[in-house]
């Protein structure tokens, strides 16, 4: 009984995964680009904050800055700058 139940659950999960792929695929690129634009805006805001520009949400965003630093290299390259500029920051 348990084996049959497990098989059923596994089959249902496979159907759900296939369906999710179907649901996502057509608009995937638009959705991910929108998400990336939002992330880029946040990153730009955090970068400005680290450079001393006042940010009313700085208390809340302080925790996020290490994540921004971790992704900094990939981000500035995507934004069109091969090197970050400040020596020793990331490249």
Buried b (16+ CB within 10 A) or exposed e, 42-81: ebebbbebeeeeeeeeeeeeeeeeeebeeebeebbeeeee
Minimal distance, residue 74 CB to another protein, in Å:
12
Site residues (CB under 8 A) for another protein, limited to 7-66: 15-16, 19-23, 25-34, 36
Minimal distance, residue 42 CB to another protein, in Å:
15
State yes or no: residue 67 binds another protein (CB under 8 A): no
State yes or no: residue 82 binds another protein (CB under 8 A): no
* Binding residues for another protein (CB under 8 A): 15-16, 19-23, 25-34, 36
């Amino acid at each position: 009984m348990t084996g049959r139940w497990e098989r059923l659950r596994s089959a249902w999960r496979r159907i759900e995964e296939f369906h999710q792929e179907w649901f996502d695929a057509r608009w995937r690129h638009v959705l991910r680009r929108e998400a990336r634009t939002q992330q880029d805006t946040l990153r730009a805001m955090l970068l400005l904050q680290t450079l001393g520009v006042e940010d009313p949400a700085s208390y809340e965003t302080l925790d996020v800055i290490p994540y921004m630093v971790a992704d900094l290299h990939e981000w500035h390259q995507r934004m069109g700058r091969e090197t970050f500029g400040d020596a020793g920051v990331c490249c």
